[in-house]
A and B are shown apart, each in its own frame.
Chain A
Amino acid sequence: MQDTKPRGRLFRIWDSDVAASFRRSPVAIVSGLVALVIVLAAVFAPWIAPTNPYDPSSLNLMDGFTPPMQPNAFTGNSYLMGTDNQGRDVFSTILYGARISLFVGVSAVLLAMVLGISAGLVAGYRGGWVDAVLMRVADVQLSFPSILIALLIFGVARGIIPPTQREAMAIWVLIVAIGLSDWVQFARVVRGATMVEKGKEYVQAARVIGVTPLRILIRHILPNVMGPVLVIATISVALAIIAEATLSFLGVGVPPTQPSLGTLIRIGQQFLFSGEWWILLFPAVTLLALALSVNLLGDWLRDALNPRLR
């Protein structure tokens, strides 16, 4: 009999195979750090950013088009990453923009997860016609590019919401649009894993005791199918951030008054050919770094959780 005392949760996490694989992987460590820095910077933007880009009173149009690290010709103000056409500090707008991009990305994925996991659990556990209907809906949705679906949902929402509310609701519409376009992959993975788990004896043991199906799904099966879900969720956050940027770039995303990274890129690309490169470059690099690091983390997590690749 082994005589290891149950040790603390933190120790168990640190000692786990996943943590060990993280410590061994330089790619995972670097992308983890990059993602962490961007996330922290975004979360604490109000305390880090030198100016508040949403406050019109702090803006000075004379500050417009200041190049990075050079004093403005009129005001003499100098900015780390320069300013945009309206004189907003690019560094500050990036911090605030990353905040919105991350909020939209994470919320959309959470929505997709809730929908997809529920559908997948029910379809996988029940089987039969419930499964057939849910999965055919998923198949149909998969045959369209998800950005088109997001655009469609966005268009429908625009029709429903009164014009006065549109600006305030824009972020929520975006979240729903991206979330609804992304639930399918969660549903498929969870369905497959659920079908495997439900045949295992621990589920039969619960059924013999008389545990209700809902409780079996939530307390027994869900924790055991979360591994692959986490992998997809991580990669999906990166994709959702890009989707948000794409929609915002197309002009159907968040309004310019509350710019996300995508909105900033859209604004910046207008000035690329007139020489004000910094307005595009810095938001674009931030978006790239964020999406890439989150994506690489997802890749690493997939390998770390797959025992066959270890």
Chain B
Amino acid sequence: MADPFLTVTHLTRRFDVSKPWLNRVLEREERQFLTATADVSFAINKGETFALVGESGSGKSTIAKMIVGLLAPTEGQIAIDGQKLDPKDPVSMRALRRRMQMIFQDPFASLNPRWRVGDIIAEPIHTLGLMPRAEITVEVARLLDLVGLSKADAGKFPHEFSGGQRQRIAIARALASRPDFIVCDEPTSALDVSVQAQILNLMRDLQDEFKLTYLLISHDLSVVRHMSNRIGVLYLGRLVEVADAKRLFHEPQHPYTRMLLDSVPDLALSGRRRKPVSGEIPNPISPPAGCAFHPRCPVAQDQCQIAVPALRPTPTGEAACLLAGVAPPTDA
């Protein structure tokens, strides 16, 4: 942990979801804010895969967008290799952009349908001015080969490819600037399982070959388990648990993590006993006071309704629960 590659500190993002001014005046309503991400801090080490898991409204995609500069944080900081991300400083942003790329969820939307594949892959090289024009064709061929496509594919359009092949093209584009960090936002959730396996294996191979650091955003616990070294669990915009991947699944510390694990279908037919899951995710515009999970929590106590618990150390990492790190509650 001596040398974190990416550090995120007290990251918060609020969205103004108020009605237009005139409606607010007429209907006497207050401005409304949605806190998509609240006070999130974590660090990613060089060469590891850090995963953020959560259900809808957990703010995982918002965090991804802030890290790659698509959204500005309301509060908090992001630093890469100790260098602060500052959208107002184009020179440093340019240097950071080369090092940091993103793979998107929907390979049908993430490639411009009017562009040839070769141009799509070459765009980062052009934009960042990494290479003389004459060498780009060769580089594109190399990238296509790297992701398991052929040189001739550069002349085709995205609609000529299947979903899995498109995601390969998107990965080739992400690799074009030779980054050392890639944010993968639900990279396989739009793909069929047999294709998902191909893409996950490819991502692993590329990580080994280029010493890549991944931030993996996913709602799928099995994918996360398969891919990551450490995992952060989000609930309603807050980090509720960070733990070593292997241990998280055996020793979940936060009751929400436990519930999430219980809700994963038992594919191996192991007869794993599941507790019935209760309740639904509250509206993120008006989250419950205190610990946002307390209305669904089987071990909630009175204090849980008052203050938001801070992350505290546990045997496996950190968890934001009053009971974390304490012996599991007994019935007595």
User: What 1/0 flags go to A223-245 for Cβ under 8 Å of B?
Assistant: 11000000000000000000000
B160 touches A209 (CB 8 A): no
Pair B105/A210 contact, Cβ less than 8 Å: no
User: Is the pair A224, B114 in contact by a Cβ cutoff of 8 Å?
Assistant: yes
Task: Please classify how large the interface on chain A is, using the bins under 10, 10 to 19, 20 to 34, 35 or more.
Answer: 10 to 19
Question: Do A208 and B160 have beta carbons less than 8 Å apart?
Answer: no
Interchain CB contact under 8 A, B94 and A206: no
Residue pair A211, B123 in contact (C-beta under 8 Å): yes
Q: Which residues of A contact B69 (CB under 8 A)?
A: 207-208
Query: Which of B27-35, B96-104, B212-220, B223-231 lies at the interface with chain A?
Result: B96-104
Q: In the assembly, what is the distance between CA of A1 and CA of B111, in Å?
A: 18
Q: Which residue of A lies closest to B161 (CB)?
A: A2
Which of A100-108, A150-158, A197-205, A291-299 forms contacts with chain B?
A197-205
Least CB distance from B78 to A in Å reads 14
Q: Is B102 touching A205 in the complex (CB atoms < 8 A)? A: yes
Within 8 A of B (CB), among A54-108: none
Given contacts A4-B160, A202-B112, contact A209 B97 (CB under 8 A): yes
State whether A202 touches B110 (Cβ < 8 A): yes
User: Is A126 interfacial (CB 8 A cutoff)?
Assistant: no
Residue of A nearest to B154 (CB): A6
**Contact flag A6-B128 (CB < 8 Å), given A205-B102, A205-B104:** no
Task: Say yes or no: is A5 at the interface (Cβ < 8 Å to chain B).
Answer: yes
**A-facing mask of B67-89, CB < 8 A → 1, else 0?**
01110000000000000000000
Q: Check A201 against B123 for contact (C-beta < 8 Å).
A: no
- Quote the shortest CB–CB distance from B80 to chain A (angstroms): 14
- Assembled-state Cα–Cα distance A4/B161 (Å): 11
Name the CB-closest residue of B to A12: B157
Which residues on the A side are within 8 Å of B93 (C-beta)?
210
* Chain B residues in 8 Å Cβ range of A6: 152, 155-156
A220 within 8 A of B: yes
Give 4 closest A-B pairs by Cβ, nearest first. A201-B110, A6-B155, A223-B114, A201-B104
Identify 12 new A-B residue pairs, CB closer than 8 A, beyond the known A208-B102, A220-B112: A5-B152, A6-B156, A202-B113, A204-B70, A205-B111, A205-B170, A205-B173, A206-B123, A210-B94, A211-B123, A223-B114, A224-B113
Footprint of A on B, CB under 8 Å?
A: 65, 68-70, 93-94, 97, 100-102, 104-106, 109-114, 123-124, 127-128, 150, 152, 155-156, 160, 165, 170, 173, 177
